[in-house]
Amino acid sequence: MDVVALGESMVAFLPSRPGRLADVPSFDRAIGGAESNVACALAAAGHTARWVGRVGADGFGDHLVERIAGYGVDVTSVSRDPARPTGVYFRTAGDRGTGAHEVAYYRAGSAASAMSVTNVDLPAVRAGRVLHLSGITAALSPECGALMRTLTEARPGRPLLSFDVNHRPALWPTPEGPLTLLHLARRADIVFVGEDEAEEAWGITGGPEAIRAALPEPGVLVVKQGEKGATAFERCRRTATPPTFEPALHVDVVATTGAGDAFAAGFLSGTLRGLPLRARLRLGHLFAAAGLTTPGDLAAPPARDHADRLTALDDTAWGRLRLAPGWTQAERATQEANTP
């Protein structure tokens, strides 16, 4: 496998119209999960991908496994729990960054929260060039935390370890949660963290350089800076290179949910292809733009030749791009065709 991703996936219920959860009359069913989102995006981009997780022996578990497999992801190592349910959540149509946004999670006691070193197929998890994990899993239960510590241990033959911090304050019942995330990040090879979540979790306010000072261990550190862009630090043969900043694209945003997972998938796609750091960042932005211009948690990335052509644009043309819903299905993005 090119990449293996382990974590909880849930059935997501998306509102049929804007409004409070109390007022929305119906919902459309979808799927969501940080790690499986990455696996699905990478599979859609032509990589071999496996998702390892645990779902209930119920209809929602069937739906999750079938939908994720539909993206071309290997799901043969997903286990079923006869005693615990598949997690579900409901959310409003409003942007996550507004006060009107609501999310109702029903994941306590889920099948995924029972993942442990004894019931997960560890050889299958370690059988990829890249192993992608996130901080969400560590918060689900003590057993999941122990599993994460085991998977991030330094050991001969360990896959390239990718870790998305994904700080979710509501999942951590004690103040030790942020320290757990910092500890796990320091054991990874590639780390993704938002500038805002580094401040929220660890109190770091000095920008990307200050975050790098707190996380010197990973070979690659990617600091996501929202609408501004992203800064990446890379250490080559034990020598640090200057940070690389790549501005984000102008996007007509439909929904922000899942954009961070899409960015990670784009960056990892470039990593698997051996692309330069700047191209990896641009692929992250393009995959994120695909997610930002669709309403669900998951969006098909642009075709490889389309993405490569946009990645190769000069700085001026890159800065002029504006991507709207449907741009990944177009042979050429309309705005690009109209750019002088």
User: CA torsion angle for 138, 177, 229, 301 (degrees, to 10)?
Assistant: 20
Q: How many residues does the chain have?
A: 340
Is 261 assigned a catalytic role?
yes
How many CB atoms are located within 10 Å of the residue 229 CB? 17
Residues in a beta bridge with 31: 11
Upper half-sphere CA count for residue 329 (Cβ side, 13 Å): 6
Alpha-carbon distance of 160 to 162, in angstroms, equals 7
CB 27 within 8 A of CB 14: yes
Alpha-carbon distance of 316 to 238, in angstroms, equals 33
Secondary structure letter of residue 206 according to DSSP:
S
CB 246 within 8 A of CB 222: no
Q: Structure tokens of 179?
A: 């320290």
- The helix/strand/coil state of 65 is helix
Tell me how far apart the terminal alpha carbons of the chain are, to the nearest angstrom: 42
User: CA torsion angle for 90, 294, 192, 172 (degrees, to 10)?
Assistant: -10
Catalytic pick among 189, 261, 297, 314:
261
Alpha-carbon distance of 115 to 184, in angstroms, equals 17
CB 12 within 8 A of CB 30: yes
Active-site residue set: 261
